Amino acid sequence: MNSKTPLNKSIVEQRTGMSLAEYLHKCITKLETMSDKKLLDGLGELMNNETKNFVRHKLRSESISLMKFYQQFPVLAEE
């Protein structure tokens, strides 16, 4: 999302059984209720310290911001 990679709306809708807007809302809601440390569960041993710090301090908030941006200004792949 950070590089504005287009989403294939039909694939998202087909695989999730919900509209793109509903799915993004559900993802945002889930991320907002999670703690930053929870994102590392089971993955910490696979990452170096720099990556762990990014996940701990920025990944959740940046993901939420990007998903909110996609809600307002979707970058969709041409079908």
pLDDT digits (tens, 9 = 90+) for 52-79: 899 889 999 999 999 999 899 888 887 6
| Total domains in the fold of the chain | 1
**Enclosing domain of residue 34:** 9-72
Residue 4, in any domain of the structure? no
Q: Residue 46: pLDDT above 80?
A: yes
Residue 17, in any domain of the structure? yes
Q: How confident is the model at residue 15, as a pLDDT?
A: 97
Residue 41, in any domain of the structure? yes
pLDDT digits (tens, 9 = 90+) for 11-31: 999 999 999 999 999 999 999
Judge whether 73 and 2 are in contact, CB under 8 Å.
Answer: no
Residue 23, in any domain of the structure? yes
Residues 6+ positions from 77 with CB-CB distance below 8 Å: 6, 7, 8, 9
Residue 53, in any domain of the structure? yes
Residue 78, in any domain of the structure? no
Residue 33, in any domain of the structure? yes
